[in-house]
Amino acid sequence: MDVLARLHELQELHGWSSYKIAKEAGLAANTVANIYKRNTLPSLTTLEALCKAFNITLSQFFCTDEEMTELTPELRELVANWSVLSPSQKDTVWQVIKSYGK
């Protein structure tokens, strides 16, 4: 994967300047500017900060558009609640969900 191309893609998607990215990520403006101007790869720590600014995970950063699914607040709540259900409860909920999909 081309990390720099992905960063440019996210920058365009959000319509942010390098300065805005740095501010949102809590990084020095020079750090972000150098990544773009010198075409250098960010450290893992810097990349994590950038991902946090773009409101995505590292996994989402490295996924293709076809693989990426936005996790909305509603979906996050669903996943959080799902994870505490027993297998029997999950089966019941799954059957209800499937019945609405028909």
- Helix 44-53 to helix 3-14 angle, to the nearest 10 degrees? 20
Domain limits, the chain: 3-62, 71-102
Q: Does domain 3-62 have CATH number 1.10.10.60?
A: no
Q: What is the pTM of this model?
A: 0.63
Cα 20 to Cα 88: distance, rounded to the nearest angstrom? 47
DSSP 40: P
Express each pLDDT in 29-63 by its tens digit.
999 999 999 999 999 999 999 999 999 989 889 88
* CA-to-CA separations, 24 to 13, 31, 41, 84, 102, in angstroms, rounded: 15, 13, 19, 33, 43
Residue pair 62/55 in contact (Cβ under 8 Å)? The answer is no
